[in-house]
Amino acid sequence: MWSVVGLGNPGRKYRDTRHNVGFLFVKRVAREWGARIKKKKYSSKVAVAERGGEKVMLTLPQTYMNRSGWAVKQMVQEGGFQPHKMVVVYDDLDLTLGTIRIRREGSAGSHKGMKSIVQEVGTNQFPRIRIGVGPADPRMDAAEYVLSPFSKEERRRLEKSLEEAEKALMYILKGEDKKAMNLYNKRMSGPV
């Protein structure tokens, strides 16, 4: 079974902020796949859907961004999920809004949610989809910026990248992550 983990913060206050792009992505996928995210398991809200004959758990950790690793560790230890079959989706301030990047593994960079996962799970060997939310407004602190909502124009650009990220996810779930990287890391590199 695969797990798709969207990173974000629970609660109305954070719902439409840049830092909740992972949540927005997983909720979009759930709608597209006809799944309802409501069951509570592994300190997360989850739904199970089927894609390509395999079950996929759509996961929204409820432990807040900086403690995302707690929920993911529960999935691995209690649920028996293998890190290499776990796709983590999150915001990236270093990528321009409207772009995505797919990686099979790697460091957490400066993202505190990813740092928490790598620390708690004990590996960085899992695929991830980074969704651009940058560049930051130079008049704002980075933390303040990622916790601010999108404008209408920014939301339109975000929707395009969420659509592309969903297509990339389908390749990853089929074990074709290299193809996803070749297609989407290049395709999304210019302005949208």
d(CA 70, CA 64): 10
What was the pLDDT predicted at 160?
Answer: 94
**Residue 132 to residue 92: CA distance in whole angstroms:** 5
The Cα 66–Cα 56 span in angstroms is 24
Beta strands 54-61 and 44-51, pairing class: antiparallel
Domains of the chain, start order: 2-187 (3.40.50.1470)
Q: Which amino acid is at 121?
A: V
Given this model, what pLDDT does residue 187 score? 58
The pTM assigned to this predicted structure is: 0.95
| 111: annotated active-site residue | no
Return d(Cα 44, Cα 6) in angstroms, integer.
10
Q: Which residue of the set 18, 19, 45, 112 is catalytic? A: 19
List per-residue pLDDT tens for the chain, 192 residues long.
999 999 999 999 999 999 999 999 999 999 999 999 999 999 999 999 999 889 999 999 999 999 999 999 999 999 999 999 999 999 999 999 999 999 999 999 999 999 999 999 999 999 999 999 999 889 999 999 999 999 999 999 999 999 999 999 999 999 999 999 999 997 544 444
CB atoms under 10 Å from CB of 140, counted, come to: 12
DSSP code at position 109? T
